[in-house]
Amino acid sequence: MIQFSPLVMVPGPTPIARSIQEQMSRETIAYNDPRFVSDFDALILDLKNIWRCDGAAFVVAGSGTMAMEMAVSNIAGRGESVLVCSNGFFGDRYVEICSRKGYDLDTIKAPWGESVSVEEIDKRLCQKKFSALIVTHVETSTGVELPLYELAAMTRLKHPDVLLVVDGVASAGAAEFYMDWGVDVMLTCSQKGMGIAPGLGILWASRRAIEKRLSMPPIAESYVDFVKWIPVMKDAKAYWGTPPVNMIWALVEAIRIIKEEGVKERDARHRHFARAVRRAVSALGFKPLAEDGLAAPTVSVFLYPQAAGIKDEKFRSAVYDEGAHIAGCKGDFEGAGFRVGHMGNITASSLVSLTAAIERACVRCGYPIKLGCALAVLQEELLVSPRED
Ligand code: PMP
């Protein structure tokens, strides 16, 4: 029998290119083998150069949540004022992480499906002296993208002492960003825009962020302490926690692919694909949660038409049976729709298969649609050049 393996169209992990998969299955060597040390050193240099980082880049075993913890623990100590913005599940997770650290914590919350505005953040930063501002670039629970360039520019210009921390888990490696926009710590992990298996936390820290950590007394956290990892990132032979050798090779290959495609071009491809998926799935009567101007390039959330009586789990398992794995909604929207990831090293063909699977699932679940109507929209969009979006 043919082995059935549905397309992974959840918002992480994302489909893994064969050449990346091959790196993960290479024979493992010691982390201090000169062949690995030179690969690692070149990788750190690449991460800094591509994303224009004047401080340090870190690659550490752990998930995105570990990277969230690592970012904040190193730039603010107990009693310091920290402002966290949240417009969804992962923003709320950052509030929860920060609430354990003894900060003088303030939050700005926007309704799920909306974005925290740059004006509102500016207003709050004017009211009090904050050490750090924390935002989520793409909120994976709602498919909303924050205007990062505008936010970083405003913060650097009007509040130059505030360190900006960005959760880029659902954006980095897919959406364009550069540290010199005014970002102090950007964090992500391997299983989203980079297109690798889960397991790596990846962070960029500005020179200002590193200086801040070096000016702080020892921090309570040990595994995620920048001070412990800086020597390793300068020379992989130094040891703090055993580097996941094969995952790091996979990242080397992922970065090679990103360089080959180009950061700008990769961003344009993601925005083009996102627009195509949104238009196609909307043609079936599913409503995107995020408005057009806020829609993320990497993940889309669609709500079921209320009158249709679609049973969420039944629908998503029908899509799975038809060949595409999509995710359920979170929080207030649980059961009300589904989430689709369209990031990393995916191709137009994946979107065609995804859309076709959704169409067939509609029919199987008795939701009346005309087969091919979403596919026609998708195909038209795919023929538009990414740059025309
Ligand atoms: N932040 C965002 C925006 C995310 O989407 C996720 C994971 N979906 C995380 C943080 C947490 O990452 P992980 O599950 O790898 O710990």
DSSP one-letter code for 172:
B
Domain total of the chain: 2
Of 191, 170, 119, the closest CA to residue 296 belongs to 170
Q: Which residue's alpha carbon is at the smallest distance from atom 14 of ligand 1?
A: 64
Asked, for residue 354, whether it belongs to a domain, the answer is: yes
pLDDT confidence of residue 308? 83
DSSP E strand boundaries for 124-259: 132-136, 138-139, 144-145, 163-167, 185-189, 200-205
| Pair (291, 214) in one structural domain | no
| Pair (302, 384) in one structural domain | yes
Distance 189 CA to ligand 1 centre (A): 8
Distance 14 CA to ligand 1 centre (A): 13
Is ligand 1 within 6 A of the CB of residue 92? no
220, 246, 261: which is the final residue of a domain? 261
Is ligand 1 within 6 A of the CB of residue 65? yes
The CATH number assigned to the domain holding 73 equals 3.40.640.10
Distance 169 CA to ligand 1 centre (A): 6
Asked, for residue 122, whether it belongs to a domain, the answer is: yes
pLDDT confidence of residue 322? 97
231, 261, 291: which is the final residue of a domain? 261
Asked, for residue 241, whether it belongs to a domain, the answer is: yes
Distance 90 CA to ligand 1 centre (A): 7
Distance 38 CA to ligand 1 centre (A): 30
Is ligand 1 within 6 A of the CB of residue 165? no
pLDDT confidence of residue 4? 81
CB atoms under 10 Å from CB of 326, counted, come to: 23
Each residue's pLDDT expressed in tens, for the chain with a length of 389 residues: 777 899 999 999 999 999 999 999 999 999 999 999 999 999 999 999 999 999 999 999 999 999 999 999 999 999 999 999 999 999 999 999 999 999 999 999 999 999 999 999 999 999 999 999 999 999 999 999 999 999 999 999 999 999 999 999 999 999 999 999 999 999 999 999 999 999 999 999 999 999 999 999 999 999 999 999 999 999 999 999 999 999 999 999 999 999 999 999 999 999 999 999 999 999 999 999 999 999 999 999 999 998 889 999 999 999 999 999 999 999 989 999 999 999 999 999 999 999 999 999 999 999 999 999 999 999 999 999 776 55
Is ligand 1 within 6 A of the CB of residue 141? no
| Pair (234, 274) in one structural domain | no
| Pair (91, 186) in one structural domain | yes
Asked, for residue 78, whether it belongs to a domain, the answer is: yes
The CATH number assigned to the domain holding 351 equals 3.90.1150.10
Is ligand 1 within 6 A of the CB of residue 330? no
| Pair (59, 194) in one structural domain | yes
| Pair (199, 314) in one structural domain | no
Q: How far apart, in whole angstroms, are the C-alpha atoms of residue 373 and residue 49?
A: 44
CA distances 84 to 37, 116, 121, Å, are 37, 11, 10
pLDDT confidence of residue 142? 98
Is ligand 1 within 6 A of the CB of residue 140? yes
261, 280, 308: which is the final residue of a domain? 261
Distance 174 CA to ligand 1 centre (A): 15
Q: Which residue's alpha carbon is at the smallest distance from atom 12 of ligand 1?
A: 64
Any idea of the CA torsion for 127, 128, 134, 139, to the nearest 10 degrees?
-20
Q: CB of 138 within 8 A of CB of 156?
A: no
| Pair (44, 78) in one structural domain | yes
Atom of ligand 1 nearest to the CA of 66: 16
DSSP one-letter code for 218:
P
Q: How far apart, in whole angstroms, are the C-alpha atoms of residue 65 and residue 191?
A: 12
pLDDT confidence of residue 124? 98
Distance 363 CA to ligand 1 centre (A): 33
pLDDT confidence of residue 57? 98
Q: Residues 196, 223, 187, 291: is their CA dihedral positive or negative?
A: positive
Is ligand 1 within 6 A of the CB of residue 63? yes
Distance 168 CA to ligand 1 centre (A): 9
Q: Which domain holds residue 236?
A: 18-261
pLDDT confidence of residue 388? 54
| Pair (230, 375) in one structural domain | no
Asked, for residue 2, whether it belongs to a domain, the answer is: no
Of 189, 377, 351, the closest CA to residue 282 belongs to 377
Q: How far apart, in whole angstroms, are the C-alpha atoms of residue 137 and residue 81?
A: 21
| Pair (370, 275) in one structural domain | yes
Q: Return the axis-axis angle of helices 348-364 and 312-321, rounded to nearest 10°.
A: 130
Whole-structure pTM value: 0.97
Is ligand 1 within 6 A of the CB of residue 89? no
Asked, for residue 1, whether it belongs to a domain, the answer is: no
pLDDT digits (tens, 9 = 90+) for 303-313: 999 888 999 99
| Pair (203, 302) in one structural domain | no
* Tokens found for residue 6: 């549905």
| Pair (312, 177) in one structural domain | no
* Helix, strand, coil distribution of the chain in percent, nearest 5: 45, 15, 40
Is ligand 1 within 6 A of the CB of residue 170? yes
| Pair (194, 283) in one structural domain | no
Asked, for residue 303, whether it belongs to a domain, the answer is: yes
Q: How far apart, in whole angstroms, are the C-alpha atoms of residue 299 and residue 306?
A: 22
Asked, for residue 282, whether it belongs to a domain, the answer is: yes
